[in-house]
Structure 1
């Protein structure tokens, strides 16, 4: 009983496999066989990478090179088969011209309807095979041409569609070929090596198609991964900026709250209305501080230890701390000089902090990506803002691979855009790297006193 049940289960599994194979064969070769699927031109990026020396106008037409090659092949097939129709009589001549058109049209059709081109090519081969029996003295050349063209058509269809069509078209072609050979009374001896040769060619085409698909998927995956990495880095940088701005704004709000609380005691006989106003100011300042802490907690919730290495009570750095930053960078092996133009003046703490971080990140990138190079920091106090320029020369030795390359520039640009400024970061003509930024300042502020 168990053996019978196992046998029935095996038969059902085999039946399901066969049914699935027939269903895929029907979907691939019969459903919408003549659907319009035009072959797109080559991408401009590929043309620029393969033949960068071509002029722009010629490079535009080079995108259609595969179409020209397939069309030229179709014309060659027509001319080769049409030349066989000379001197064979009017009836055979008309048939020969018809066969030439039928056989040569299939390669051209692969550009627009690839599966339909396979059926057209197979039909042409069947008709030529039948005509060979009737006109054996002239049919051999047509048969060879139709066979070769059919192989080319199947190869183009595999390259244009999917790899599994190679097996399906091979089975259909040599199934039909075996039937025609049996009906014509011929032997199967020649069919086996031809089938093997066709199989090798189609498997190779399917491997090329599978490799191209895999490569495309890898490129898409790498692109998505790079975008996700950039987005994650941007969010991390924004969290850091939020923490720093919290410290800056919290300091000002604390000063407002303290001054609002102390103001009524500095004036004798303070009017009740004025005392109430100061109390309201203090309450709003304290409420704002609480909101700032809550928002910062939300930003830092995904990584509560993101700022564990820094002292939360320590003051945020400003351009006044630039000398200590440069000394630290010099001790790490980077030769750097600083040039300050204009009259240094106090700037808003957010601007001071962002300017310091931009210089710090640019010098860190120089240390990481340009070992042994010299660097120069230029700070310009101009009317309406502050300009920054950090440039490094050509590295004197190879840099170690850095998986986070480019993310520092992303953070610097985020800081500048947050303050309404502009920034550029690009390689110099000499082979170094330059970061230039301008941060606008509407009004300068004096130093705050508590």
Structure 2
């Protein structure tokens, strides 16, 4: 079977098609600005910097309009009416340089071309009605000095905003127009025909270099900011890993020892009463539950929350178990659950609210055990309308002696406030006149779901 030979290569574009393509690209760049009509220096931090471009263009307009009018009427022998119109058309668009420089260039360019043609037209002065020849041949044409200066300011604004293709198109269009006008009246002084392209090229090159330097500095600052953010992220991950390692090596070890000792106590100590055996069993169960919670926290710290998101989180359905464990520790607690309280997230309770309610009750009961041992405590969870109310109130400590902790760090209350803030609710905490303490949280049942891993990482 003969092998198939590849087909002939496609014909290369000829010179006319290449020229047409490039001319089309240049024409498109002249008709479409490369930036939105946002003011120059709009992102500056200080107000005077944002206002500076407007002040500059206003001063330029105020200066160039009367100068152009005076030059056209006195030196170029243009009537006052046409001179006023030309002055406004050639210098008025300078007000647009701060936000629309390309559109301003179009108006100025067309006005300059029209003005050059008007200068060649003989004028008639009354009352003699004798035609007066145009301006003297020694005066620059087609671009008078104010036109050249105003055009340079336009090119300056373009160089700070537009792309290289647009700048090249503007420069070529201006130079071509000057050459064509010179061909109309070659006897005139053609100094402006050469001077404007030369000065314009210098202005465009300088401004383009300054703009590219500014963009390079901006990209460098952005890269430094990204590097600093990545460095801070690495530091955070390293710190989280170190905390996870310390929790695993120290706290988890001791909790495991407590679990083993509590489980083996009934076998190592003979003659234990049944109540003591139940107490050791309760200690072992609490220790195992703490280990489970710690493993979940360690997974969040080590894997950036991916494992924690898959792990089940406690909610209102486990508050009864939490209260029973607290009662077994010797704290008299009464629980009141409203009949209209959703039992799980499947019944419409947001996961963030479900977890936050459990953690608030857990932290409040832990604070009572630490700071008011033996105090009578009441836990109430009710739903009214679109909000869930969690209330934990304890009396003054009933057991004689000092509390387990005389002072606290306040991290528990801070954690409660953060949880309530994440759900969009409110928290009210404070001491009572009789020496007790009150924790009241109001959580919206329509709160947005917050990833459980972010809440688990804030566990008290």
What pairs up with 1:350-429 in 2 under 5 angstroms? Answer: 384=407
Q: CA deviation at 1:126?
A: 0.3
**Contact in 1 for aligned 2:240/2:302 (Cα 8 Å):** no
**Contact in 2 for aligned 1:159/1:206 (Cα 8 Å):** yes
What pairs up with 1:51-450 in 2 under 5 angstroms? Answer: 60-61=47-48, 63-84=50-71, 92-135=79-122, 136-137=134-135, 140=140, 143-185=144-186, 190=191, 191-192=193-194, 194-265=196-267, 266=269, 268=271, 270-271=273-274, 275=277, 278-279=280-281, 282=284, 285-286=287-288, 289=291, 292=294, 296=298, 299-300=301-302, 384=407
Residues 267-297 of structure 1 show CA distances to partners (whole Å, capped at 9, x for unaligned) of 52653x8757745753664575477468647
**Residue in 1 that maps onto 2:14:** 11
**Contact in 1 for aligned 2:26/2:169 (Cα 8 Å):** yes
Distance between the aligned counterparts of 2:174 and 2:210, measured in 1? 21
Distance between the aligned counterparts of 2:165 and 2:209, measured in 1? 10
- TM-score between the two structures when normalised by the length of structure 1: 0.54
Q: CA deviation at 1:419?
A: 10
Q: CA deviation at 1:102?
A: 0.9
Distance between the aligned counterparts of 1:277 and 1:170, measured in 2? 92
Distance between the aligned counterparts of 1:291 and 1:34, measured in 2? 55
Gaps of 5+ in 2: 1-7, 123-133, 305-404, 416-460
Root-mean-square deviation (CA, aligned residues, Å) is 4.1
**Contact in 1 for aligned 2:160/2:207 (Cα 8 Å):** yes
Q: Which has the larger radius of gyration?
A: 2
Q: CA deviation at 1:35?
A: 7.0
Residues 244-270 of structure 1 show CA distances to partners (whole Å, capped at 9, x for unaligned) of 123332134123203311332335265
**Contact in 2 for aligned 1:159/1:209 (Cα 8 Å):** yes
**Contact in 2 for aligned 1:33/1:115 (Cα 8 Å):** no
Distance between the aligned counterparts of 1:129 and 1:291, measured in 2? 85
**Contact in 1 for aligned 2:175/2:197 (Cα 8 Å):** yes
Q: Report how many residues are paired.
A: 292
Residues 273-323 of structure 1 show CA distances to partners (whole Å, capped at 9, x for unaligned) of 875774575366457547746864775579xxxxxxxxxxxxxxxxxxxxx
**Contact in 1 for aligned 2:64/2:91 (Cα 8 Å):** yes
Distance between the aligned counterparts of 2:299 and 2:176, measured in 1? 71
Cα distance change, pair 417–276 in 1 and its aligned pair in 2 (3 A): closer
Q: CA deviation at 1:156?
A: 1.1
**Residue in 2 that maps onto 1:347:** none
Cα distance change, pair 100–32 in 1 and its aligned pair in 2 (3 A): same
Cα distance change, pair 221–89 in 1 and its aligned pair in 2 (3 A): closer
Q: CA deviation at 1:147?
A: 2.4
Cα distance change, pair 188–91 in 1 and its aligned pair in 2 (3 A): closer
